[in-house]
Chains A and B, each alone.
Chain A
Amino acid sequence: MSVRQSLLAILDQGPCYGYQLRAEFDRRTGSTWPLNVGQIYNTLDRLERDGLVGKAEVDAEGQIYYEITEAGSAEVASWLGSPVVRTAAARDELAIKLAIAVTLPGVDIAHVIQVQRSSTLRTLQELTRTKAATDNPESSEELAWLLVVDSMIFAAEAEVRWLDHSETRLARAVAAGLAAPVPLNTHTPKRGRPAKAPTAASASAALPTAATSATSAE
């Protein structure tokens, strides 16, 4: 989880107390994913339990400082050196929506795509406008913030490109007569858990061979 690793990476620079960690995380990520203090302390508790940080001194104002352990530093190095693997199972609401819509009768998919594209483009415009004021980053924090904005911009762009691609694919499918709606399949047998427990009569009817062999054994 990136919050845990991020806090650990900040602590690798020197001991910090909870509020300080929150401020450090925020200024390094442009306050885009604000953390509450509760999350910070929960994370610190878990890091301490796992031997990655330990409590250090308490200052005159009663702030408890946490410092990283050797194992914690190793964990930071390992995090920075390994890829972030996105889980395939993460649900993409938009992909699900289009996939379902394309199987339904009477849905104007081209319109669904266009509505989404307009919205995503507006988001892209807003992000671009937000970024436009900063040409050359003048500090490390500003650079970090630009990287976050760029990440959102490229994600939105990718969505628009996927929508463009879907539109073209759909047009080809319509031309080829492949875009027919999928009706409900009323003949699909129920799988998994049965609706109710079988009666004695139906159970014996379902096992004629066993019943017969039992009789012959007598």
Chain B
Amino acid sequence: MTTQEPLLRLDGVAMQYGHGETAVTALVGVDLTVERGELVAIMGASGSGKSTLLTIAGGLTPPTSGEVIVEGSWLSGMNAKQVATLRRRSLGFVFQDFNLIPALTAVENVSLPLELDGWKTKRARRAALDALAVVELSDRADHFPSDLSGGQQQRVAIARAVVGGRSLVLADEPTGALDSTTGEMVLRMLRSRVDAGAGGILVTHDARHAAWADRIVFLRDGRVVDEAASRGVSSLLGARA
């Protein structure tokens, strides 16, 4: 891997479910890169292929054709075990419904992927506490998910997604179950992790949330139809005194 290699590269990724007359095309020749320090939002109507794109980028489903390259590693050249290891070490997932394990405390939820990866319990816990501090939840480390608000649970999920130096965060409607203000706080956390050097894909149907990204990619019927890149800060607002 070279330092120039993007965190994630999709080359001509296509996805088709089923065969013959009943085949459904979910993605057609999608090219996409995510650099370090870059958050890319994927928008599109229901059925446009957003979530399929995320599962392929995360190595959860192999594409019908095309290549997925994570930190310079070609997923097509790996067996299932190698892909699982790469997923554990390089990728973090954030889902709409948080997906925390109810029987584990916040810090245990965050340290679990590290322990699964062979880290010693104490070291994993230290790293998990650091990750919780970043999302401002140090004081909730020993709480169970049921004792946390939705926003706090999602911040735990973000801590879990970036713990142990994992660099690519894949978020599928991470604010879908949160109220507007809490959702914004979660996005601020995600944005700050990306600004600190991670990369991320944010699948959302909410324009206000997509606006936290550096680039917004639109999918329609499985194809990228447009991209909007940020022009910087707004000229609509006056300079603050």
Contacts and interface: CB of A to CB of B under 8 A. Distances in A.
Given A126-B233, A128-B211, A121 B228 contact: yes
B45 A164 contact: yes
A64 interface: no
Question: Interface SS of chain B: helix, strand, loop or mixed?
Answer: loop
A142 B225 CA distance: 38
A36 to B, nearest CB: 14
A160 B207 contact: yes
A30 B240 contact: yes
A122 B212 CA distance: 11
A121 B241 contact: no
A130 B228 contact: no
Interface string B204-241: 01111011110010100000011111111111111111
B236 A121 contact: no
Contact of B207 (A26, A33, A148, A161): A161
A164 B231 CA distance: 22
A174 to B, nearest CB: 14
Question: Interface SS of chain A: helix, strand, loop or mixed?
Answer: helix
Contacts of B212: 128, 132
Interface residues of A, number: 39
A119 B231 CA distance: 10
B159 to A, nearest CB: 18
B191 interface: yes
B231 A145 contact: no
Interface string A11-35: 0000000000000001100111110
B45 A125 contact: no
Interface of A: 26-27, 30-34, 114, 117-130, 132, 135, 141-142, 145, 148-149, 152-154, 156-157, 160-161, 164, 167-168
